[in-house]
A and B are shown apart, each in its own frame.
Chain A
């Protein structure tokens, strides 16, 4: 069974600074997807970024980028130029190829300070 670990329950960062959220996972699969979701106080789950395991290039989405280390089973999220609106819970998630069994990590609560 797959597991996802986020070792930082809470983090804070000053506005305009850069922060990195950690995620590690355990799987015997070779092909899979990894995701970062954001959950603001509204509780809505919002996709931040996704990464296909077969792609070596790290995904980027505006101020958000990942550092995907397949051999180390690590998938960290870097937020550049942090904004107050980035304050939220962030969940790392794993999914086998073609559906079945999304697995989420326990989440990291990020606070962006003015």
Chain B
């Protein structure tokens, strides 16, 4: 089954304790992205990756890191979490086609990770 998986689904942690949220897709998509969802603000993009070893900042990258060492995985790292990073996080992947041709540009989302930083 084609899917995007995230782990953990729920996490409660304390300020300053490093954490990683994993994201994996089995569709061989080039493009992957992380979002946070906050009430009244919709989804805001944190980081995205066009392919292996290619990452770029979205609209709200402060306090986050990412890496893309393999095509299927795109972990989100919070080196020193703070309470304002309490949010619902989504990972997504997209097939953009070969040389940008033929892709659907439709994002497939993971189930979300609810993070609470105390």
Which residues does A use to contact B, with CB under 8 Å?
A: 4, 6, 9, 33, 35, 43-45, 47, 50, 91, 93, 95, 97-107
Q: Is B94 positioned at the interface, with any CB of A under 8 Å from its CB?
A: yes
Contacts of B50 in A (CB 8 A): 99-100
Q: With A and B bound together, what is the CA distance between A95 and B43 in angstroms?
A: 13
Interface residues on B, range: 20 to 34
A96–chain B nearest beta-carbon distance, Å: 10
Contacts of A93 in B (CB 8 A): 43
Q: Which of A33, A43, A101 contacts B111 (CB 8 A)?
A: A43
A54–chain B nearest beta-carbon distance, Å: 12
A107 and B42 in contact (CB under 8 A), knowing A99-B31, A99-B50, A101-B58?
yes
Q: With A and B bound together, what is the CA distance between A60 and B90 in angstroms?
A: 27
A61–chain B nearest beta-carbon distance, Å: 12
Q: Is B87 positioned at the interface, with any CB of A under 8 Å from its CB?
A: no
**Dominant SS at the B interface?**
strand
Q: With A and B bound together, what is the CA distance between A106 and B59 in angstroms?
A: 14
Which residues does B use to contact A, with CB under 8 Å?
A: 31, 33, 35, 40-45, 48, 50, 56, 58-59, 88, 90, 92, 94, 96, 100, 103, 105-109, 111-112
Besides A44-B109, A100-B50, 15 other A-B contacts (C-beta < 8 A): A35-B107, A45-B107, A98-B100, A99-B48, A99-B96, A100-B48, A100-B56, A101-B59, A102-B33, A102-B45, A103-B59, A104-B35, A104-B42, A105-B42, A106-B41
* B43 pairs with A99, CB closer than 8 A: no
Contacts of B40 in A (CB 8 A): 9, 106
